[in-house]
Amino acid sequence: MNHTNFKPVFGMLAAAVLSACTLMPKYEQPAVAVADTFKYDTAEPGIQAASLGWQDYFADPRLHSLIEIALERNTDLRQAVLNAEIYRKQYMIARNDLLPSITGTGSGSRSRTAADLSGTGNARVGEAYSVGLGVAAYELDLFGRVRSNSEAALQGYFSSAANRDAAHLTLVASVAKAYFNERYAEEAMALAQRVLKTREATYDLSKLRHKAGVISAIDLRQQEALIESAKADYENAVQSREQARNALATLINRPLPEDLPQGLPLGRQFKISRLPAGLSSEVLLNRPDVRAAEFALKQANANIGAARAAFFPSINLIGSLGTASTDFGNLFEGPNRTWSFGPSVSVPIFNWGTNKANLDVAKLRKEAQIAAYEGAVQSAFQDVSNALTAREQLDKRYNALTKQSRAYSDALRLVNLRYKHGVSSALDLLDAERSSYGADTQVLAAQLTRLENLADLYKALGGGLKRFSNDVQ
């Protein structure tokens, strides 16, 4: 077999696999001035939020079911997942530009030429057959333009995937907080009903004392006002419960199922209540919004390489290799080999100003992404610091309010006994009831705020991407 005819094609393929240089700037991670550790990180070192599955963190099986449904059906998360998939496909397209696009061709034809047109005066039948491989307009990436575009597409995909993870974390925390508000409203309803029954019982006793002339009509009317106040509080709690359920229905993108498991009370919502924050560098690794910002910065860095490469010539290769014959039986014989090779060079001449402006834009976009990255890091540390500070103060406030509630409850019990025996006045009883109910309401509200804070801290530390501790979503 004669290999001479293959030399141009071999040269084309060799050029295609030449290692091309790249004009991308060397990436350097921006230095952001943040503390190494967090103030109020009082939890003992242990498992990190990012490695703790949400079913290992939240205890309520009813909440587990709602999160499962939301992760499957939520529209915002589905959109983020689809956007990440779009970027992945775009990267695959850009990556394929690094390799020649080789197509196979084959053709066969038979035709009859009339006698008057044959030149010999005799009619004849002609045949032609050909097969081959062809490369169409493959850019020889000597200056790294295609590689830079491919790298930019890859970093764009990474950034969109990190945004998808951020949407995942936000959804888990949002479902948990909406569910906590539903449970809070239900417990507020129960509290209002208990207070209403107590006030109605006191009112019945007061009516007897009023008939006996022991208390005045003013005292009686004040107790009636407290009864109506409890009814109003109950209806307000019902409204809050329905609004929380509406929020949950929106998050799971369907009406609340009827067969959800029984929920747990507010005080038993978490399996772990003292998550450690750890070092600041760990937050950088675990926060998807910080990762998304850095990938966007790397994408802008790669775009500079593509903009720089536009100043240099681009070389495109076009060629084919095959066989052709008028006899199908001789189609693959050596003398019937065919080839073609046609490189083309495009040199920028009068578009220097446009290329310079494009490069300046690419550099400015990188500077903007540096600022965005620094902002994302600072925002991440602010989120964690605020959540840790709130956790510390909320725990102290909740403990103080709990003690206050117990004191007021005990005072109400004593005043109620004194009132029944005619020692305390109706005014004393009214004040004791208002104080006790107000303290119980404050405890319930503080409990909700603590739960929301623990959900926010879990999200701020990068928790929620894993379903179980050993099962990555």
pLDDT digits (tens, 9 = 90+) for 22-32: 788 999 989 88
Question: Structure tokens of 378?
Answer: 């600072």
**Section 285-289 average pLDDT:** 88
Instruction: Report the candidate in 118, 110, 145, 111 with the shortest Cα–Cα distance to residue 21.
Output: 145
What is the model's pLDDT at position 469? 44
| Residue with tokens 């009516």, as numbered in its chain | 207
Question: In angstroms, rounded to a whole number, what is the distance separating the alpha carbons of residues 125 and 380?
Answer: 79
pLDDT band at 127 (very low <50, low <70, confident <90, very high): confident
Across all residues in the chain, what is the average pLDDT?
86
- Residue 390 scores a pLDDT above 90: yes
Longest dimension (CA), the chain: 141
Look up the CATH architecture of domain 31-98+142-311+379-472: Up-down Bundle (1.20)
**Each residue's pLDDT tens digit, 53-109:** 999 999 999 999 999 999 999 999 999 999 999 989 988 888 887 777 778 887 878
pLDDT value at position 13? 43
Whether residue 345 is predicted with pLDDT greater than 90 in this model: the reply is no
Question: Looking at residues 460-465, what average pLDDT do you find?
Answer: 90
Provide, rounded to the nearest whole percent, the portion of the chain with pLDDT above 70: 93
Q: Residues near 128 by Cβ (< 8 Å), separated by ≥ 6?
A: 107, 108, 109, 324, 325, 326
Distance CA 353, CA 100 (A): 31
Contacts of 207 (CB under 8 A, 6+ apart): 220
Residue 2 clears pLDDT 70, i.e. is over it? no
Average pLDDT over residues 330-353: 78
pLDDT above 60 for 464: yes
CB burial readout 279-296, b (16+ within 10 A) else e: ebebbbebbbbbbbbbbb
Distances (CA, A) of 117 to 110, 112, 122, 128: 16, 10, 9, 18
Question: Would you say residue 3 has pLDDT above 50?
Answer: no
Predicted TM-score of the model (pTM):
0.83
Rounded to the nearest 5 percent, the helix, strand and coil shares of the chain are 65, 10, 25
The answer, yes or no, to whether residue 444 has pLDDT greater than 60, is yes
Q: What is the pLDDT of residue 99?
A: 76
Could you tell me the CA-to-CA distances from 75 to 69, 70, 161 in Å, in that order?
A: 11, 9, 16
More confident residue, 142 or 21: 142
| pLDDT digit string, tens, across residues 32-64 | 888 888 888 888 777 888 888 999 999 999 999
270 strand-pairing partners: 58
What average pLDDT does range 144-163 have in this prediction?
92
Q: pLDDT by residue (tens digit) across 210-235?
A: 888 888 888 889 889 999 999 999 99
Confidence (pLDDT) at 332? 73
